Chains A and B, each alone.
Chain A
Amino acid sequence: MLEALWITVKLAAVTTLWLLVLGTPLAWWLSRTRSNLSHAIEAVVALPLVLPPTVLGFYLLIAFAPQSTLGQAWQALTGERLAFSFSALVIGSILYSLPFVVQPLQAAFRQLPEGLLQAAASLGASPLDRAASVVWPLCRPSFIAAASLGFAHTVGEFGVVLMIGGNIPGETQVLSIALFDRVESLDFDAAHSLALGLMLFSLVTLFLLYRSSGRWSVRL
């Protein structure tokens, strides 16, 4: 069970990191662009909110198969099989939790007055400088919210992992799957402690999030 906990935490942490790296520029672009393409991309980003996770999982399962183009390319690049690996879980989780990171960031960026960025530029601040000295401090609460939601949502993931993870203990078996396993084998005591643990974790995360969102807010 500890193994499942470790894998869950590792998966959520790695996924969150990738989500911040990929989601921040995406959210920035979505918040500033006037291109029609942005609506299509917004729809794709939001898809995991409404889609049954098994649908995403099913397509990923096919995409990750050893005979598939992606599977082959992955094998050639890393020398490892993609299907039923931890990396596959990370890729699936990134897609699955994407809206939980992109949407709060996009909303924060949209509220950031363009005039402040213009003032910073006029004083000689480069784009990266502006990101670090203006965008980050003013949007910090949203970054924290986005990271927390991305982390918590990845911990709570089930359908996608079930489809693409293969339930390999020590490699791809996360807590939610372990719980499913225990119930299948009628081990209700273990199931109880897993379920309660996951529930408490989610509750505490959300509580901290709501509490901090009041404290961190900066008046614009």
Chain B
Amino acid sequence: MTALSLNLSAERGDFVLAVEADIPAGITGVYGPSGSGKTSLLMRIAGLMRGADTDTVRLGEVLLEDGSTWLPAEQRDVAMVFQDARLFPHLSVADNLAFAHRRRRRDGPSIEQVSDWLGVRDWWQRLPAALSRGQQQRVALARSLVNAPALLLLDEPGANVDPQGRRQMLEVIADVCARQSMSALLVSHDMRDIADTAAQLLVLEHGQLLAQGSVMALAASVEGPLARQPDAAAIVEGRVEQHNSQYGLTEVSVGGQTLWTDQTSRPRGSTVRLRLPARDISLCREAPRATSILNVLPTEVTAIEAGDDNRVLVQLRLGDQYLLARITRMSLEKLGLQVGERVFAQLKSTALIDTARGIYDE
């Protein structure tokens, strides 16, 4: 089901934004360097910025704009969370939330519920000026959730928030979206935020749409725009099999193989996403017999892409999922690796980032 259908543009001096995309329901990440047009894209969808006459924007069945139609921001079933929070300075936190609640179009979570989920209840009586920027960000998110829009536009919602708070915010976003069948565009310059929550991904650069697809497929692509990033990392999904509290580890099965990660709080049987940084994965021809590395996975080389820094990116198939390994060109030649060959991928357990728990500071 297409939630959002875009053919839009915007101009600001030299900068030109032009994006054409059909975006499915659910959470979609928007990733790109600063200045790539992420915020402009959200502002255009929100109806807070004008584009060209040839633009069309459709939200579900509703035409938001085309050559002859322009729904103003207040008539779009969309709420935007701005990077700078934009709380009303004359209203207390509770009144800011009530402002959004009074103007919502459908049933949704109550002010009390959202306040508890995001931990803002203690600040109800305070004015925004008495909150830190991170606290203001949380209230701004709470305010938009209370507004219960069909589409949530999130512009770096976790900016200025500590890793734990950020984690909590993303979890609440995912939770509310699922429960309210609400869709969201999540703008971030940090892939970890997106890896956590989004199913789909748009990659922007210089106002152009570089790539669109599932987060996992794009993260594992060796030619895609994400592969060029120094922190390129595949994202895999696995099932929590068991916790080993004696060693503080959790066993996760991925594509029929076993992976050990730092112990997570996720219950057995639940699905977790793991983000595996390419630079933390090494390769060997034969299974090492004695090694301190816990995770040695039999994989198949599916693609090799040379980078411009004497390093190559190797894509490996593990069951029906893919890993990425960044190794030196010298190692590649020493191993004589070819596409189609079998190879063992090694990763330290600590290298695993359980994005569902969000060990951000590893």
Contact of B90 among A121, A124, A126, A218 (CB under 8 A): A218
Contacts of B129 in A (CB 8 A): 219
Q: Is A26 an interface residue (CB 8 A)?
A: no
Label chain B's interface by main secondary structure. loop
A138 adjacent to B99 (CB under 8 Å):
no
Most buried by B among A121, A125, A218: A121
- Give B residues with C-beta under 8 Å from A: 46-48, 72-74, 78-80, 82, 84, 86-90, 99-100, 103-105, 129, 143-144, 147
Interface residues on A, range: 20 to 34
- Give A residues with C-beta under 8 Å from B: 113, 115-116, 118-127, 129, 133-134, 137-138, 218-220
Label chain A's interface by main secondary structure. helix
Q: Nearest-CB distance from B106 to chain A (Å)?
A: 11
Bound form: Cα–Cα A138–B78 in Å: 25
Q: Nearest-CB distance from B311 to chain A (Å)?
A: 43
Bound form: Cα–Cα A115–B86 in Å: 7
Bound form: Cα–Cα A129–B100 in Å: 12
- Contact (A218, B89) CB under 8 Å given A122-B73, A124-B74: yes
Contact of A122 among B80, B84, B87, B105 (CB under 8 A): B80
- Contact (A123, B86) CB under 8 Å given A118-B73, A133-B99: no
- Contact (A123, B89) CB under 8 Å given A118-B73, A219-B129: no
Bound form: Cα–Cα A125–B89 in Å: 16
Bound form: Cα–Cα A125–B80 in Å: 13
- 6 intermolecular pairs with C-beta atoms under 8 Å apart: A115-B86, A116-B88, A118-B46, A122-B48, A122-B74, A126-B74
Contacts of B100 in A (CB 8 A): 123-124
- Contact (A138, B86) CB under 8 Å given A122-B79, A124-B103, A133-B99: no
B105 adjacent to A124 (CB under 8 Å):
yes
Q: Nearest-CB distance from B152 to chain A (Å)?
A: 10
Bound form: Cα–Cα A220–B100 in Å: 20
